[in-house]
Structure 1
Amino acid sequence: MRSGCWFLLPSLTLAYPYFHDGSAIQPDTRSLSEIYHAALKEGGLVTLWHGGDEKNQQDGLKLAFEKRFPGMTLNVTVDLSKYLDVDIDEQLARKSLYVDVAMLQTLQDYPRWKEAGALSPYKPIDFNTVFDQIVDLEGYYMGVRFFHWPMTWDSSRVKGSGPTGYNDFLGKDYKNKLVLTYPNDDDAVLHNFNKIVQEHGTSWLDRLLQQNPRWVRGTQTPTDIIVNTNSNQTATFAAFGPFGSSSLKARVPIKDHFTSWAQTGAIFTEAPHPQAARLLMNFVISREWQQDLVENGLWSVRKDLSQPSGYNQSLLDMQNTDPLGFRDFMMDREMVERLRFWYEERLGVAKGLDPIFDNM
């Protein structure tokens, strides 16, 4: 991983001369049991690369999948999406792919992989229950999980009921108390900061910097730091929310824009375990798994499930978030690069341990 053999990338478009027409593909008509037994017959193994910034972030998925399908092994690797896609490109160029499924934040990768013939069209049994706006209608890729950036704080150390918008973080109670992820190190964080500055102006950023926030790498790192009682930091935003701490509270802004997106999954044409890959894609959009996500405060990609507690609209219907806008943002790589350097000039190059290896 992370070898980044860039000179191989231009050959990707020639590696798979594949003319796709998935328009006639229908959702899998087999039962889940039939797909499961086909996966067992194939060897009972599926390799997933999932975007994230802590090694254990998908342990819950691995546990649930292997419990639901005895005899199956989910070999899951979590790393930053911006690193995983480079390694996948290299494997594709070398024609030595060993990854079956990728579920990444780098949404710009999927259309180009599709055009290169690197993706295998497949529609899970419940394909039609997923919001149309976050799937490739030909079945080459689909949103499998919604993520969003809430505001998070330690209620035992923050006065009152907590922040309701980004201007609250400019108050005196948050001086030297904020821990934030470098926006120039993560595109989803960059998107959130960009929206804040669009709404509140560059003066907001100037005032935020006067609060002397602690800047870190990784989007789980801020909450890991806050739950450490020896830490001076008590709040964050544009980062993952609570992970099992009773004193941590989270909410999305009442009016301000917050970033959300559909983490997108696809099966590769040369996947070594195509049946197991299909089983996994069925599981991650299943009512069983998606309902578990809802009960843990996340929105579902399914149209037929309710919203997480405290909310009555899907992310696609809310006025102050736009998962599709995030997708468009990720597609404009020239703009993203300009923004990244704009923040880097103000904050400096992202410093600190790689979050995958920081043991937090």
Structure 2
Amino acid sequence: MQFFAPLTVMWALVASGVTAVAKEETKTIDQLYADAIAEGGKLVMYHGGDTPTQQDSLHAAFEERFPEINFTMVVDYSKYHDVRIDNQLETDTLVPDVVALQTLQDFTRWAKEGTLLRYKPKGFSKIFNDLKDKNGAWMAYTIFTFGYIYDSSALGGLAPPTTPADLTNPEWAGKIASSYPNDDDAVLFLYTRYVEKYGWDWVTSMSNQNITFNRGTNFAGEFVDSGKSVIGVGTSGGSAPIEFVGGNGTEYLSWGQRVGILSKAKHPAAAKLFMNWAVSEEAQTSVVYTTVRTDIGTDHPWNDPEANMAAFPAFMEDREKVEMWKQTFSLYFGEVQGEASPGFLGVHPGL
């Protein structure tokens, strides 16, 4: 009888649904909307970012589409949101229902811990395979891209800085803005790729360029847009006359912003509504920055090795190496200075 006991337990687990595989959602958006309203019509999301208003367009698009949902969006650095969630779970005071962060390693950890609900929204099968958990614990809903930029209208007749090596030229001294590489992991990764190609002599030269550093990945782009700097490092592209440098021999970074539903979410129906809407053809073609779906468009960053879409998640998992890189850059550029750009949000924002 003892021999058959494990089999009995196994079949009991299967029967109870413990080992059941999440299937893709079959309900329509309108049905999910009705479920969310019946649940109470509330949704709280923690999103990684640099300023309180950075996700206003996402917030507004969701509210316009689903006006009966009271949608609270809280933006803070991902490295604060993740430990905030861990602390809330430990103290049984969880606030958010959905979380979207740059700290990709948190999602693999949370998935193993059972912190994330296994759920596959409609359209999950259309997401590029490397941008989703096979069990549905998380997925990417958009893709962000960092490189460096320059204002082509402010070159003063000088040759444009078309490679990272050009950034060390003396004519650009005092004309470069950058987020701290020892403060943001995506900016850090970008700097590490430049170091691996150009060596530490490049960093030494950059440390002598009188770079204007500040917190928040929005900073460098805003400084270039405002005319305070000619070059911005560790930021996204813009429209003419702002030129983005990445590809064609220069490495850059594109990553899928991961999102998941917390298992202990107070509003799971509203969370499921958000997940289905976020990867819907409607949102993927009109709301998000870059689609994660393989059936929309053809110019996908995962097809460009220089975008480092496979390298970045691996980099984020190796926290010991990440910390080593951060501290080394601190030796060259100094410690991070200034207040956090989103402000101080405390332990339970969004209540």
User: C-alpha separation between the residues in 1 aligned to 2:112 and 2:34?
Assistant: 31
2:34 alignment counterpart: 37
Residue 70 of structure 2 is aligned to residue 73 of structure 1 = yes
**Offset at 1:197?**
0.4
TM-score, scaled to structure 1: 0.86
- 1:199 corresponds to: 197
The Cα of 1:246 is off from its aligned counterpart by: 5.6
Q: Could you tell me how far apart the structure 2 residues matched to 1:250 and 1:20 are?
A: 50
- Decide whether the 8 Å contact of 1:21 with 1:138 is kept in 2: no
Unaligned runs of 5+ in 1: 1-18
Cα–Cα, structure 1 residues 20 and 227, in superposed 2: closer, same or farther, change >3 Å? farther
Equivalent runs, 1:187-336 vs 2, <5 Å: 187-229=185-227, 231=228, 233-242=229-238, 247-292=241-286, 298-307=289-298, 312=299, 314-336=300-322
Aligned equivalents of 1:283 and 1:205: distance in 2?
A: 43
Partner of 2:178: 180
Q: How does 1:146-161 map to 2 (within 5 A)?
A: 146-158=143-155, 159=157
Aligned to 2:323: 337
Q: Secondary structure at the match of 2:301?
A: coil
Choose from 113, 119, 122 the match for 2:116: 119
Distance, in Å, in 2 between the alignment partners of 1:129 and 1:91 is 33
5 Å-filtered alignment, 1:70-109, equals 70-109=67-106
Aligned letter for 1:355? S
The alpha carbon displacement at 1:20 in A equals 9.5
SS in 2 for 1:95: coil
How many matched pairs? Answer: 328
- Distance in 2, Cα, partners of 1:234 & 1:43: 50
Q: Matched residues in 1 for 2:51 and 2:181: separation?
A: 18
> What amino acid is aligned across from residue 268 of structure 1 in structure 2?
L
Match of 1:335, as an amino acid? K
The alignment partner of 2:313 has SS state of helix
- Structure 2 distance, partners of 1:342, 1:107, is 22
State the identity %: 33
Checking the alignment, whether the CA contact within 8 Å between 1:154 and 1:248 is kept in structure 2 is yes
Q: Could you tell me how far 1:21 is from its partner in structure 2? A: 5.8
1:101–1:267 CA contact under 8 A, matched in 2: yes
From the CA coordinates, give the structure whose radius of gyration is larger: 2
Query: 1:27, CA displacement in angstroms?
Result: 0.6
Q: CA RMSD in A?
A: 2.0
Go from structure 1 to structure 2 and tell me whether the alpha carbon gap of 1:345 and 1:74 turns closer, same or farther (over 3 Å shift).
Answer: same
- Conserved? CA contact 1:181–1:217, under 8 Å: yes
TM-score by length of 2: 0.88
* Distance in 2, Cα, partners of 1:223 & 1:41: 43
